[in-house]
Amino acid sequence: MKIYEITETGRVVDSDGGVREANGEAVDLRPQTRQVLALLVRSPNQTVSKEDFVSAVWEGRQVSEDSLVQCIAEIRAALGDTDREIIQTLPRKGYRFVPPVPPVRPGISPRIAALVAVAVLLVVVIGWVFGMPDRGHERAPVVAVLPLDDLSPAEHQGVLNDALSEGIITELARFPQFRVVARNSSFQFRASPTDVREIGGKLGAGYVMEGSQQFDGQRLKVTVQLVETATGAHLFADKYERELDDFFAVQDQIVRQVASVVGQEVLSDMPQRALPKDVDSRLRGLQARRIMTQLTYENWQKALALEETSIREEPGSAWGYIGKSLMLGAAARLGWMTPREAVLDESVELAKTALRLDPENYMSHFALARVLSRRSENAESILHFQRAARLNPSDSIILIGMSVPLLYSGQTDAAIEALQKAAEVDPLHGDWLRWQLGWAYWQKNQCDKGLEAMQSMSSPPSASNKTLAALLVCLDRLPEAQNAMADYLAANPGYTRANEAQDVPTDWKPEGTPERWMEAMIRAGMP
Same domain, 397 and 520: yes
What does the pLDDT read at residue 266? 44
- 394 near 172, Cβ under 8 Å? yes
Same domain, 143 and 254: yes
How many domains does the chain divide into? 4
Amino acid at 249: A
Q: 65-79 and 31-41 helices cross at what angle (nearest 10)?
A: 80
Same domain, 410 and 454: yes
Same domain, 351 and 290: yes
What does the pLDDT read at residue 236? 81
Burial 249-276 (b: 16+ CB within 10 A, else e): ebbbbbbbbbbebbbeebebebeebbee
102 occurs within a structural domain: no
Between CA 364 and CA 35, with CA 91 as vertex, the angle to 5 degrees is: 70
Same domain, 234 and 300: no
The last residue of a domain, from among 45, 69, 97: 97
Q: Which CATH number fits the domain that encloses residue 177?
A: 3.40.50.10610
143 occurs within a structural domain: yes
Same domain, 415 and 525: yes
Domain hosting residue 38, numbered range:
3-97
Same domain, 429 and 370: no
The strand ranges marked E within 246-379 are none
Taking the CA atoms of residue 117, residue 120, residue 126 and residue 131 in that order, the dihedral angle to the nearest 10 degrees is: -130
Q: Report the alpha-carbon distance of residue 95 to residue 40 in Å, rounded.
A: 8
Which of these, 492, 506, 431, 434, lies nearest to 463 by C-alpha position?
492
Which of these, 373, 374, 394, 376, lies nearest to 385 by C-alpha position?
373
What does the pLDDT read at residue 277? 57
Give the list of residues 6+ apart from residue 200 with CB closer than 8 angstroms, or none: 144, 206, 207, 208, 229, 230
Same domain, 407 and 477: yes
Amino acid at 29: L
105 occurs within a structural domain: no
Same domain, 381 and 416: no
Q: Which CATH number fits the domain that encloses residue 318?
A: 1.25.40.10
Same domain, 422 and 526: yes
Q: Which CATH number fits the domain that encloses residue 9?
A: 1.10.10.10
The last residue of a domain, from among 231, 247, 263: 263
What does the pLDDT read at residue 124? 37
Pairing label, strands 149-150, 219-228: unpaired
What does the pLDDT read at residue 233? 85
Same domain, 53 and 37: yes
Q: Tell me the pLDDT of the chain (527 aa) as tens digits.
A: 678 887 667 788 888 888 888 777 888 888 888 889 999 988 888 888 888 888 888 776 766 666 788 788 888 888 888 777 888 887 667 888 888 755 444 444 444 444 444 444 444 343 433 333 333 334 568 999 998 888 888 877 777 778 888 888 887 887 777 789 998 898 888 877 778 888 888 999 989 988 889 888 888 888 888 888 888 888 888 888 888 777 777 887 788 778 777 765 444 444 445 455 577 888 888 888 888 888 899 999 999 999 999 999 999 999 999 999 999 999 998 889 999 999 999 999 999 999 999 998 999 999 999 999 999 999 999 999 999 999 888 889 999 999 999 999 999 999 999 999 999 999 888 899 999 999 999 999 999 999 999 999 999 999 999 999 999 999 999 999 999 999 999 999 999 999 999 889 989 999 999 999 999 999 999 99
What does the pLDDT read at residue 522? 97
The last residue of a domain, from among 242, 263, 284: 263
